[in-house]
Amino acid sequence: MLEEVAAKGATITWSDLAKRLGRWVHDLPNTGRQELLVEVDRPRVPDHPLLSVLVVTHMGRPLWYLGQVLSRLGAAEPASEFALQQWAAAETRKTHEAYGHRRARASVAPPSAAKRPAAGERAPFGSDVDQAHRRRAEMREKLEEASRTRARTKGTRAQRLAQAIRQGEEHLHRYEEVRSQRRALRDWLGEGDRVLDLLIGLIGRPITVTPARAERRAVAPDPKPAKALEPKPVEKKDPNLRKIRRLLGELDRTHGHRPTQDLLRLLDEIGKHRDQLARPLPAAETKLVERWQSRLEDRRSAERSAQAAAASRNTSARTGRTAEPPQDDRLPAERIEKLVPTVRDILEELARADGTPLSWGDLRLRAGGQLPFLHPDDQVALLVVVDRGTPADEPLLSTLVDNSVAAPHRLYRQVRLGLGREPVPDAELETHRAMEALRLRQIWRYRR
């Protein structure tokens, strides 16, 4: 991803990286982020441009720990903060030039066999096609809004809007080329997120001038116009909207240690306040509410499965059986073997695309109905078989599957044990999985 940023002559913040790679990037501590940047540029090659310098603060300045990253890479650390900023600016230009030339050479080279559509090119998933249709409609709407904004804007902002509009139009034109190719369509969707973010940021909230106010400004006969203007009433925020935002913040802070039933009650309370709003709920809060509804449904489903398994074991214990617990809700081994190609194919494509972990529910959606509801133990058994052929020195594809919001690492931990791999301490598990996901993308991006 940083190579793409370099080829476009741009920089990127951790927030933008989190939007494209997943929530795990946002949740990384500073030590984990440093480790991630070190891995990106390792092994260090003298005079080779660094990609880690392209990650900046929201003000466009070098990261405060960039010097530590350089030191760990074996590069000379600038003596002062001013020297670091000067060095970072020069290194950024060097990186842009190096990767910009690669992109230019690639654009004039004849299409290789890898770029030409192969006869066995995999068709895209139905969910990706649906998302692409929605994305095209959203892109067209934003392009029209950007054109209207540009017509009443001058200076640098107008130039940047014109560039963004060209990027959006080129992006829409590329749809016909990628619509029948699974991986290319995924890349197209990811690029669409970046273009939309750029358009939305540039459009902002344009200031409109009413005819009456424009006329007063043009004539201005009164030497004291401020007294003639009536004070603009301050718009008060809906108290129900404030309560919804407070409840969403409470959900985010306390979901790790509160029972699912309590969290569902908070969602119900949010629904009541939402019904009393004078205007529709803003888009940002709407997305958060929908995300929590999906997360809590997954969490409740996992809890029901665990309760059913516990009840089944207790029944066997009471009846004095010495054999295995009832297996009515478990799949036979031969059925699990038949599911392996579908799951492995999805995880390989995910590793090639961006390496962002997905939940078990998302995995079932991507399988398009081929993956039934599985007992938690069968989920582990299936992923163990999926990774049985993974070399010992490579990350597991199961790294990309989260168990649930409450316990995201449970599946990964059990799969490692099932394959005889060394266990990872709980305190290091989140950072370990993030690094393994990065390694997966580096390994699989060139595999076919």
43-47, 71-75, 326-330, 428-432: least confidently modelled range? 326-330
* Mean pLDDT value of segment 36-58: 83
Amino acid 110: pLDDT: 47
Of the three residues 183, 203, 223, the one that is the final residue of a domain is 203
> Checking phi first, is residue 122 left (phi over 0); if not, alpha (psi -120 to 50) or beta?
beta
Distance CA 269, CA 284 (A): 18
For residues 387 and 426, state if they share a domain: yes
Distance CA 75, CA 68 (A): 10
For residues 98 and 72, state if they share a domain: yes
Helix/strand/coil for 55: strand
pLDDT 10s digits, 298-318:
677 667 656 655 665 565 555
**Whole-structure pTM value:** 0.34
Amino acid 150: pLDDT: 83
Q: Could you tell me if residue 260 is inside a domain?
A: yes
Let me know how long the chain is: 448
Sequence-distant (≥ 6) Cβ neighbours of residue 117 within 8 angstroms: 180, 181
Amino acid 322: pLDDT: 41
pLDDT 10s digits, 345-378:
999 888 888 777 888 888 888 887 788 888 888 8
Amino acid 124: pLDDT: 74
- Residue 228 token pair: 């003639």
Higher pLDDT, 250 or 219: 250
Higher pLDDT, 321 or 168: 168
Which pLDDT band, with edges at 50, 70 and 90, does 384 fall under?
A: very high
pLDDT 10s digits, 234-247:
556 788 888 899 89
Q: Could you tell me if residue 113 is inside a domain?
A: no
Q: Could you tell me if residue 211 is inside a domain?
A: no
19-28, 58-67, 109-118, 180-189: least confidently modelled range? 109-118
Percent of the chain with pLDDT over 90: 5
Higher pLDDT, 226 or 187: 187
Query: In 323-375, at which residue ranges do the beta strands (DSSP E only) sit?
Result: 358-359
Beta bridge partners of 401: 358
Of the three residues 288, 318, 348, the one that is the final residue of a domain is 318
Amino acid 324: pLDDT: 42
Q: Could you tell me if residue 120 is inside a domain?
A: no
Percent of the chain with pLDDT over 70: 79
pLDDT 10s digits, 330-340:
788 888 898 99
Amino acid 231: pLDDT: 54
Q: Could you tell me if residue 23 is inside a domain?
A: yes
Q: Could you tell me if residue 349 is inside a domain?
A: yes
Of the three residues 318, 344, 376, the one that is the final residue of a domain is 318
Q: Could you tell me if residue 228 is inside a domain?
A: no
Amino acid 103: pLDDT: 54
HSE-CB of 37 using CA atoms within 13 angstroms? 28
Consecutive H or E run containing 301: helix 283-318
Rounded to the nearest 10°, the torsion over CA 129, 132, 137, 140 is: -140
For residues 363 and 430, state if they share a domain: yes
For residues 361 and 402, state if they share a domain: yes
For residues 190 and 278, state if they share a domain: no
Q: Could you tell me if residue 67 is inside a domain?
A: yes
Range of the domain at 252: 239-318
Which pLDDT band, with edges at 50, 70 and 90, does 205 fall under?
A: low
Amino acid of residue 424? V
For residues 35 and 89, state if they share a domain: yes
208, pLDDT greater than 50: no
For residues 368 and 300, state if they share a domain: no
* Mean pLDDT value of segment 47-69: 83
For residues 97 and 70, state if they share a domain: yes
For residues 348 and 380, state if they share a domain: yes
Contact 392, 151 (CB under 8 A): no
For residues 340 and 436, state if they share a domain: yes
Nearest to 274 by CA among 313, 235, 248: 248
For residues 343 and 266, state if they share a domain: no
Whole-Å CA distances, 441 to 22, 40, 376: 13, 11, 27
202, pLDDT greater than 50: yes
Which pLDDT band, with edges at 50, 70 and 90, does 386 fall under?
A: very high
Calculate ∠ Cα 300-355-202, nearest 5°: 95
* Mean pLDDT value of segment 3-25: 81
Amino acid 209: pLDDT: 43
pLDDT 10s digits, 257-286:
888 888 888 888 898 888 888 888 898 888
**Mean pLDDT, the chain, whole residue set:** 78
Pairing between β-strand 358-359 and β-strand 401-402 as defined by DSSP bridges: parallel
| Number of independent structural domains in the chain | 4
Which pLDDT band, with edges at 50, 70 and 90, does 428 fall under?
A: confident
For residues 386 and 339, state if they share a domain: yes
Name, of 157-161, 203-207, 385-389, the range with top average pLDDT. 385-389
204, pLDDT greater than 80: no
Calculate ∠ Cα 154-155-160, nearest 5°: 100
